[in-house]
């Protein structure tokens, strides 16, 4: 069996998912410019994020937690959350969600 290797440059999300043969999860690459945020949202599944560059805060259930390059974040399922770039440079993260997050 061979691995699937996909470069995220110019690729839309999910970077890896069902089209790559994944049966259980999707991988997304998300970039936030200074001052930008993800939507404030909630969903039933947990997801994991790894901050590849930059810094900011993740707000979970109204409480803010500082995040920076190298931090791994587990957002519990059912928790209202939002990622915000509070730094002066791009904040990027790799996020892993269950397959159900992209199924319609």
> What is the count of structural domains for the chain?
1
Residue 62 within any structural domain of the chain: yes
Tell me if 14 sits within 8 A of 24, measured CB to CB: no
Q: Does the residue 65 lie in any domain?
A: yes
Q: What is the pLDDT of residues 26-48, one digit of tens each?
A: 999 999 999 999 999 999 999 89
* Residues spanned by the domain of 79: 29-91
Compute the half-sphere exposure of residue 26: CA atoms within 13 Å on the CB side of its CA: 19
Residue 22 lies in a domain: no
Of 8, 89, 6, 102, residue with least CA distance to 54:
89
- The residue assigned the tokens 């957002």 is 75
**pLDDT for the residue numbered 10:** 86
- The answer to whether 94 touches 19, Cβ cutoff 8 Å, is no
9 in any annotated domain:
no
Give the CATH number, domain containing residue 57.
Answer: 2.60.120.10
User: Does residue 59 form part of some domain?
Assistant: yes
Evaluate if pTM is beyond 0.75.
yes
- CB neighbours (10 Å) of residue 59? 18
Comparing 11-15, 66-70, 86-90, which segment has the lowest mean pLDDT?
Answer: 11-15
Q: Is the dihedral of CA 16, 18, 24, 30 positive or negative?
A: positive
* Spatial distance between the Cα atoms of 54 and 57, rounded to a whole number of angstroms: 10
């Amino acid at each position: 069996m061979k691995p699937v290797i996909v470069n995220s440059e110019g690729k839309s999300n999910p970077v890896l998912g069902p089209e790559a043969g994944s049966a259980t999860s999707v991988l997304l690459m998300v970039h936030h410019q200074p001052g930008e945020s993800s939507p404030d949202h909630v969903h039933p599944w947990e997801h994991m994020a790894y901050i590849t560059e930059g810094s900011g805060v993740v707000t979970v259930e109204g409480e803010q937690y500082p995040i920076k390059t190298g931090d791994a974040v587990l957002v519990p399922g059912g928790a209202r959350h939002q990622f915000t770039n509070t730094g002066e440079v791009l904040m990027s993260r790799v996020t892993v969600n269950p397959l159900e997050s992209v199924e319609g």
